[in-house]
Structure 1
Amino acid sequence: MTLSLRGRLLIGVISLVVIGLLVANVAMYLSLQSFLMGRVDDQLTNGVDEAANALGATGPFPQRTPYFPVGTVVELIAPDGSVADGKVVAPFGTEGPTARPIVPKTLPNHGADKPAPPYTVQGTEGVQFRMTDWPEGRFHGQFIVLAIPLTDVQSTLSQLLAQEAVISAGVIGGTLVLALLIVQLGLRPLRRMGAVAGEIAAGDYSRRVEPATPRTEIGRLGLALNAMLAQIEAAFAQRTASERRLRRFIADASHELRTPLTSIRGYSEMLRRGASESPSDAELARRRIEEESVRMSTLVDDMLLIARLDQGRPIDSRPVDLQVIARDAAADARAVAPQREITLDAPERVLVAGDDTRLRQVVGNLVRNALVHTPSTTPVEIEVTT
C-alpha cells in the first residue's frame, strides 16, 4: 500500500517522538534505579555496626532507625546454615512484615573478614532483598546477614513507569495533533498546485500558482512552476499565431494563384485559337504567360519556405563557394530573361559556412526580384566579394 506524503510525514514525526521518548524514559528509569539501589547499598554498608549491636542487644530492632527502613532483616546464621537469631525493623506496636530473605546455603563472604558487597536475593512472599553478610568474631564463627527489602524501590520504579506511560501518551497524542495541523498547513500550497495543474490540463493556460516566498522549497517550486507555465502559454500562443498566419497565407495564396492561372489559361486559349496570325497578339500572350508563371513560381517558393520554417528543418552548415552559387544564379537569370544585360563579377572563390540549398534560394530570390521589379532595360549585376 502506497502512503500519501502526509501519511509518511506523520509516521516519520511520530516515530521520532516515540524513539526519543523511549530513550529518555529508559535512561530516566535506569538512572533512578541506579540511584535508589546505590542508596540501599549505602544503608547496608553504613549499618553494619548497628545491625551487629542490635543482635547483641535485648529487645526489638530499633524502629525506623536512621539507616534501615521498615522490613529490614538482620539474622545470625550458624555454620550449618540455620538461623540462630534474628530481628526485623517494624513500626511501633506491631510485629512488622513477615517477609524474610532466602539466604543462600553458601554465603558469598565465607572466608572473608569484612562485609560482602551488596547483592540481590529472592525472599518469601515474592519480595526481593538487597543483602550483605559478614563474620562477627563475638558470635564465635557465626555470620550476620543484613537484608533490606526492595519493596520501596520497586514501588517507586513502578510509579515512575506509570507516570512515564501517561506522560508519553499525552506527548504522542499532542504531537500527532500538532504535526497533523502543521503538515496540513505545509501541504496546502501543494494541493493548490495540484488544482491549478488540473485546470491547466483542462485547457486554461492562463492559470498560475499563488505567489510564494522563494525562501522555502514549496515557494521555489511554485515560482518554477509559474515560469514553466508562462513558457508553455507563450509557446502555445506562438504556435496559434503561426497557424493563423499560415492559414491566412494559404488563403491569400489561393486567391493570388487563381488570377495568374486564369490569365495563363486565357492566353493559352488565345494562342490555340490562332493568335499566331497576329505577331503582336502572340508576343503579348507569350509575355503574359511568362510573367504569370514567374508570379506563380514566386508564390510557390514562398509557400515552400514557410513550410520548411514551420517544420524546423535544421541548417546543414558546411563550406559553400559563393562564386559557384552566383554563377549558377546568373545562368538561370539569362535563361529566364535573355534580353536583359546580366553581368557576373566573381573573380575568385569565396568560401563561407552555410546551407547550400538555402543560400541558393536567397540568391535566386534576389536575382528574380531584380528581374521582376526593375525595367527590362535595367542591367543586373551580380558581384561576389570578400
Structure 2
Amino acid sequence: MIARTRGLPGNFRAPRSLRKQLLAVSLLILSGLLILIGVLQYVLMRNFIYSNRAEAMETQIRSVPYDFFNLPGEVNGTGNRHPGDRRPLLLDAHTTIAIYSPDGSFRDLQEETLSASPAPRMSSAEYIRLLKLTPDKSTGDYRLITAGDGREHLAVFMKLGRPGAARMLLQMSVETGPLKDVILRQLLIYGALSVAALLAGLLLYLPALRKTLIPLSNMGKSAQIIDAGNLNVRFPVEQGQLEIDQLSQSFNGMLERLEISFQNEREAKEQMRRFAADASHELRTPLTSIYGFLEVLLRGAADNREQLYSALNSMHGEARRINKLVEDLLLLARMDGAPQLRVKHVLLDELIEEMRPQLLVLAGERNVLFDLSGGIRCLVDPDQIKQVLLNLFHNAVQHTDAEHGSIHISLHVHGEAAELTVKDNGSGISAEHLPHVFDRFYRSDSSRTRKYGGSGLGLSITQAIAEAHQGEITVSSPPGEGACFKVSLPVCRIS
C-alpha cells in the first residue's frame, strides 16, 4: 500500500520514485521559501513606501504658508486675507487636508486643496489624544484611517498654532489605493520571476538529480544479481559520493562475511559427508571381517580347536581396531568442542626423555637421533603432548625402512615458540598430497600407504591437540628427503 504524503490532501499519493520524491520535496521547499520571501517583501515594502510617503507629506505641510490655514471671519479688517482671497493649494487629487480645533470643530479644506474626496474623520476622543501625543517635529509616523466610503487613507498629523495660543491639529491624508497598486505591481513582478526561477530550476535540477542518483542505481543493479550462488559480486565503490561509497563498502563487507560463512558451511557439510562415508568404510571393514569369521565358526570350524583359536584371535584384532577407531573419533569430537586439558608447567626435554625407551622399542632396527635443548618450559597437558610425539613417531616408523630407516627428533626454541620436529628419511609425501595429510581418514596410497592398518586419524588428532594448546603443526617433504613434521607450542620461559 502506498503511503500518503503527510500534510497533503487525502487523495494525493506520493511518487514511488526516489528521484521524483526528491524533486517534489525540493520544489515544495523552494516554493515555500519564495512565498515566505514574498510575504516579507510585501510587509517591508509596504512599511517602507508608507513611511516615505508620510515623511514627504510632513515636508509638504511645512512648506505651506501659515496664513493659508487661517479660519474665515477670524481676522477681518486686520490686514489678513479672507478665505476667498487665498489661492488654491495644488496637491495630488487623492490628498486631503483638514483641521481639528480643541472645541470639537472639524474643518475639511477640500475646496482649498481641490481634493477629489472629502477628508476622513475620526472620533473627537482620537483627535484629543493625538493633540497630546503629536510632537512639534517631523517623525514620519502615520496612521491608517478608514473613510466613510470605506476607502483606506494614510494620515499624518501636526500641531498648528502660535505658542501660547490654543493649538489645533492639522491632518493630511492620502488614499492608499495608488500606493497599494505600486506594491501589487512589484509583487506581480516578483511572482513572475519566482515562477520563472522554479521552471528554470526544474529544468536544471532534473539532469543533476538523475546524475546524482546514478551510483544508487548502480547499487540497485548489483543487488538484483546477487544471490547465494554468486556472493562474490561486489557493489561498485569510489563513485564520487562519500555516503554512497561508505554504504557500498559496508555492503561489500557484509557480502564478504556472508560468502565466507556460506563457504565454511559448504565445506563443513562436505567434510561431514566425507567423514561419515570414511567412518562407515572404516567400521564396515572390521565388522565384515568379524561377520565372516562368525559364519565360518557356525559352519563347523568351532569344532576344530586350531581354527577356533585362529578365528577368535582375528576377531579380537578387529574388535581392538574398532575400539581404537571409536576412541579416536570420541577424542576428535572432544577436541572439536571444548577440549578439557589438564595443563601444567612441563620441561619438554624431560618429557621426551621419559618416552625415549618406548620410542626406541617402536623404532626396532631404525636409527633414532635426539637433539634436545634443555630448560624449555611450556604450559601443556603432558599426556596429550606425549600422544602428539607418539603419533608423529609412529607415522615415521610406518614409512621408513625397517633396517635402513632413520628418524630425527629435535627440540629447540625459535622466538616465542618451542619447535618439536620429527623427521624421517622415508619415501616422503608428494606435493599434491601435502595439503590433505591432516584431513580425517585421508590416505595417500601412492606415497604414504599404511602398513599396519591405521585409521587415518592420527595426524588429525595431532593437529587438534596442537591447536588446543594454541600451537600449530606443519609438514614439509622435499623430494627424496623424507617427511618433516614440526609442532610449535608457546613457551612460558626458558630455564
Q: State TM-score, norm by structure 1.
A: 0.67
CA distance in 1, matches of 2:33, 2:23: 15
- Please give the secondary structure, in 1, of the residue aligned with 2:143: strand
Structure 1 contact 10–180 (Cα < 8 Å) conserved: yes
Q: In 2 relative to 1, CA 152–211 (structure 1 residues): closer, same or farther, beyond 3 Å?
A: same
**SS of alignment partner, residue 101 of structure 1:** coil
Match of 1:229 among 247, 255, 263: 255
Match of 1:129 among 134, 154, 159: 154
Paired residue secondary structure (1:108): helix
Residue 35 of structure 1 pairs with residue 54 of structure 2 = no
Match of 2:121 in 1: 102
Q: Distance in 2 between matches of 1:362 and 1:98?
A: 120
Q: 1:205 maps to what in 2?
A: 231
Unmatched tracts of structure 2, length 5 or more: 6-15, 71-84, 414-495
Matches of 2:33 and 2:353, distance apart in 1 = 87
Secondary structure at the aligned position of 2:130 is classed as coil
Q: How does 1:56-71 map to 2 (within 5 A)?
A: 58-63=86-91, 69-71=92-94
Tell me what 2:465 maps to: none
Could you tell me which residue of structure 1 aligns to residue 434 of structure 2? Answer: none
Unpaired runs of 5+ residues, structure 1, are 64-68
Candidates 88, 96, 100, aligned match of 1:77: 100
- Once residues 327 and 275 of structure 1 are traced to their aligned partners in structure 2, the CA distance between those partners, rounded to angstroms, is 48
Question: Could you list the per-position Cα deviations for residues 98-134 of structure 1 after superposition, in whole angstroms to 9, with x for gaps in the alignment?
Answer: 1522244316235988356432141413222221222
- Closer, same or farther in 2 for the Cα pair 1:196/1:87, shift >3 Å? same
Please identify, of 176-185 and 114-123, the stretch whose mean Cα deviation from structure 2 is larger: 176-185
User: Partner letter of residue 50 of structure 1?
Assistant: S
Query: Structure 1 residues 353-362 or 117-126, which shifts more?
Result: 353-362
Post-superposition Cα deviations, 1:212-235, rounded to whole Å, max 9, x if no partner, equal 426521123223323432443344
Q: CA RMSD in A?
A: 5.3
**1:46 is matched with which residue: 59, 62, 67?**
59
Match of 2:173 in 1: 147
| Rounded Cα–Cα distance in structure 1 between residues aligned with 2:184 and 2:333 | 87
Answer whether contact 1:209 1:226 (CA < 8 A) is retained. Answer: yes
Residues in 2 aligned to 1:293 and 1:89: alpha-carbon distance in whole angstroms: 140
Matches within 5 A, 1:195-344: 196-197=222-223, 199-201=225-227, 203-213=229-239, 215-266=241-292, 273=302, 277=306, 282=310, 286=313, 290=317, 313=338, 318-319=343-344, 321=346
Q: Indicate whether 1:159 and 2:182 are aligned.
A: no
Q: Is the alpha carbon distance of 1:113 and 1:128 closer, same or farther for their aligned partners in structure 2, counting shifts above 3 Å?
A: closer
Q: Supply the distance in 2 between the matched residues of 1:266 and 1:223 (Cα, whole angstroms).
A: 63
User: How has the CA–CA distance of structure 1 residues 51 and 34 changed in structure 2, closer, same or farther, with 3 Å as cutoff?
Assistant: same
The 5 Å alignment of 1:86-101 reads: 86-87=109-110, 96-101=115-120
How many equivalent residue pairs? 372
Task: Provide the secondary structure at the position in 1 that maps to 2:93.
Answer: coil
SS, match of residue 109 in structure 1: helix
Q: 2:354 & 2:322 partners in 1: Cα distance?
A: 22
Change in CA separation of 1:385 and 1:47 when aligned onto 2, cut-off 3 Å: closer
**Deviation digits for residues 217-270 of structure 1 (CA, Å, limit 9, x no counterpart):** 112322332343244334423432443344345434544544444445556777
CA contact (8 A) 1:13 1:179 kept: no
C-alpha spacing 1:373/1:305, structure 2 compared with 1 (3 Å): farther
Q: 1:120 matched to which residue of 2? A: 143
Q: What CA distance in whole angstroms lies between the structure 2 residues aligned with 1:179 and 1:358?
A: 73
Letter in structure 1 aligned against 2:95: T
Q: Which moved more, 1:52-61 or 1:41-50?
A: 52-61
Residue in structure 2 matching 1:369, options 375, 386, 395? 395
Tell which deviates more after alignment, 320-329 or 108-117. Answer: 320-329
- In 1, the alpha carbon distance for the partners of 2:239 and 2:29 equals 29
- Contact preservation (8 Å) 1:88, 1:96: yes
Counterpart CA distance in 2 for 1:8 and 1:315 is: 61
Check the 8 A contact 2:99/2:106 in 1, yes or no: yes
**Aligned-pair identity (%):** 22
TM-score, normalised via structure 2 length: 0.55
1:49/1:384 Cα in 2 relative to 1: closer, same or farther (>3 Å)? closer
**8 Å CA contact 2:134, 2:158 repeated in 1:** no
Residue aligning to 2:467? none
The aligned counterpart of 2:34 is: 21
Residue 276 to residue 384, structure 1, CA distance change in 2 (3 Å):
farther
Does the aligned pair in 1 maintain the 2:156–2:172 contact within 8 Å?
Answer: yes
Aligned residue type for 1:29 = Y
Q: 1:146 is matched by which residue type in structure 2?
A: M
Shift of 1:193: 3.4
| Alpha-carbon distance in 1 for matches of 2:341, 2:170 | 109
What secondary structure is seen at the aligned counterpart in 1 of 2:97? Answer: strand
Counterpart AA for 2:251: L
Residues 164 and 303 (structure 1), Cα distance of their counterparts in 2 relative to 1, 3 Å cut = farther
| Displacement of 1:152 | 2.7
Measure, in 2, the Cα distance between the counterparts of 1:219 and 1:113. Answer: 69
